[in-house]
Amino acid sequence: MASQIRITKTQEFSEVLAFLQEYYKGMTENEIIKQAVIQDYRTKSPFEIFPAEKVSPALQKEIHEALEEVKRGEVSGPFESADDFILSLKK
């Protein structure tokens, strides 16, 4: 059963949607909004790559700190992106 969400389309929101429609060509506004929410979740919660495991608070803290270092460009090494780094932790 699908539920619905009502969103008031302000001027700023309309501008954001217009910009995203250029980026996500061929997608409806609803699809763009869903994609944006999913993408926001993925950038804020890298722990979805550990679906079968409970991530300990210590590992959560370590991952969070490491991602912050990557975002600031303070980490060098064999990883091309934060996603590559996170995936290496799973091994």
For 31-62, give one letter per residue: b (16+ CB within 10 A) or e.
Answer: ebbeeeeeeeeeeeebeeeeeeeeeeeeeeee
pLDDT, residue 52, reads: 45
The per-residue pLDDT for range 24-76, each reduced to its tens digit, is 888 888 888 888 888 777 777 655 555 545 667 777 787 778 778 777 776 65
Kindly state the average pLDDT of the residues 10-31.
89
Which alpha helices (DSSP H) does 1-91 contain, by range? Answer: 11-23, 29-44, 57-71, 82-90
> Whole-structure pTM over 0.85, yes or no?
no
The one-letter amino acid code at 46 reads P
Which residue matches tokens 């919660």? 45
Which of 39, 46, 40, 36 shows the shortest CA–CA distance to 66? 46
